[in-house]
Amino acid sequence: MFRIALLAGSRPLAFEMPDNGVAIPPPPPPTERIVDVTAAVRDAIRFPLSGVPLAELARGKERATIVVEPPALPVPGALRDPRLEALVAVSDELEAAGIPSGYQTILVAAGLARRPGRGDLAGLVTPEFARRFHGLVVVHDLEAPDLAVLGEAESIPLAVNRALTETDLVVTVSAAESVLHGGPNLFLAAGTAAPLVAAQESPSLLETGGSRGWRLALALEHALEREVPLFGISLALAPPKLGGLASGYPYDARTVGRIARSHLRRALALVPRSLRWRMLASAPAEIAAVAAFAGPPSVAHAEALLATLEARTTAVAGELDVICIPIPDTTLMLPRERPNPLAAATFGLGYAFRRWRESPPLAQGGTIVLMHGFERHFAHPNQQPYRAFFSALHLGRDQEILAEIARGVGSDARAIDLYRRGQSCHPLLPFADWEACQPAIERAGSILAAGCRDATAARQLGFVPAHGLGQALDLATGHTGENARIGFLLGPPYATLRPASTPQA
């Protein structure tokens, strides 16, 4: 049997691959990558996919707003992110076009995550740029009372930060990680909470068809472009490349096997969890850009997403009866923290599972095995709104009940005040996370929590707790049959899955 290593929680677990199992690693990072991101962005700006170049849009303009996103995705992140250099290049191009940095505004759109503080903002730009930039840096507030209303879409009001309407030009700078992250989605993240929660009604993170989030983002982009000219820069990023002892994981089968057989893996299990978490969070990683595109935000984003998928897609023959998803001990949102049970479930069901193209990899009614402890740990104070969500689960998981509770939580003055002061995530983030999990929950016949240490928390979420992966697989095969096809996702970063019979775009 082939022995594999799976990163579940804060430790790598070794497991003997069963005869009916298949390991699903992401493709290795491409060898061809952009060496000079600044030059690539400048070329893209001067030769956009459609529309006029940025210099022409900026001609005669006095003010500009640059919209950026905190680099929450991909996971793991890197200290040197290509988006930093892209932002500097855009600001310099605006200055060359006649808009000095003193008349530029950088709008940070963090969505439902905690509003970045001064220390977090320093990581969004290079130190050299921070010293010479003379404009404003604004962190968007979803609950600001003076947002500019632009209409509605699908019965949801659309509003944005006034820095996007009271300016002469808007430029977005992002990476194309999914149809819900980057590009026109920055406008949703610079708006109100309601569209961000509704946007999670998307079966796949990589398919525009059926994605309510993509429709809302396009509607907001079209409404905003009637007020001010828009221009977008989207980067296609290579999957993160780990360094140190994990170099080559999870792309190289030999590295996966070496880690599974390593004595260091066994020794790591003896290290206190808090120390393992710090080691995991500080693991060296490198992220490179493979392409840069410019034009209208939605156009540049769509093209960059196609380029991103070319470097991250793995073909899987046929549907899987069981899919095992290891969940690391970190959150999808910034700041990186030890996850609570819902945040861990969102990592597995709302992110890893929804990274498919053309059709879901799991057969209807199949089994999902989530590998995590699911302990009820709520990092203070950022994750306190999740406590309210778990209190709501005592009343059941009925969507109408949860929607009614969400309306009450969304108007909680104390929770809103903590969010506005940058001390907590938005109180509706847990409800958006739960919405993101629904496509996987509706697809699966059952969801098992392997290695669960808090059976009550797992059952509250509707999962079946299991002591370990072996017991979880016994339960899964008992339901689906001994000949069930079992897929093991290796990661993060996770592979993007597509049917093997369909030619890759």
For residues 45 and 48, what is the distance between their CA atoms, to the nearest angstrom? Answer: 6
The mean per-residue pLDDT over the stretch 246-255 comes to 78
pLDDT of residue 120: 86
Residue 256: pLDDT band with limits 50, 70, 90: confident
Q: Specify the CATH architecture of the domain 37-237.
A: 3-Layer(aba) Sandwich (3.40)
User: What confidence tens digit (pLDDT) does each residue in 119-142 have?
Assistant: 888 888 888 999 999 999 999 999
In angstroms, what is the C-alpha Rg of the chain?
A: 22
* pTM exceeds 0.85: yes
Pairing of strands 148-153, 136-139: unpaired
Q: Within 97-141, where are the H helices?
A: 118-122, 127-132
- % residues pLDDT > 90 (the chain): 70
Contacts of 39 (CB under 8 A, 6+ apart): none
Count of CB atoms within 10 A of residue 338's CB? 21
Q: Which residue has the higher pLDDT, 172 or 210?
A: 172
As annotated, the residues of the chain forming the CATH 3.90.226.30 domain(s) are: 3-27+245-282+313-499
Cα dihedral value 163, 165, 167, 172, nearest 10? 70
Which has the minimum average pLDDT: 198-212, 350-364, 399-413, 443-457? 399-413
First to last CA, the chain: 34
Which has the minimum average pLDDT: 156-160, 197-201, 308-312, 370-374? 308-312
Residue 282 amino acid letter? S
Strand, helix or coil at 209?
coil
User: What confidence tens digit (pLDDT) does each residue in 393-443 have?
Assistant: 888 888 888 888 888 888 889 999 999 999 999 999 999 999 999 999 999
As annotated, the residues of the chain forming the CATH 3.40.50.11440 domain(s) are: 37-237
For residues 240 and 273, what is the distance between their CA atoms, to the nearest angstrom? Answer: 24
Span 3-27+245-282+313-499: which CATH code? 3.90.226.30
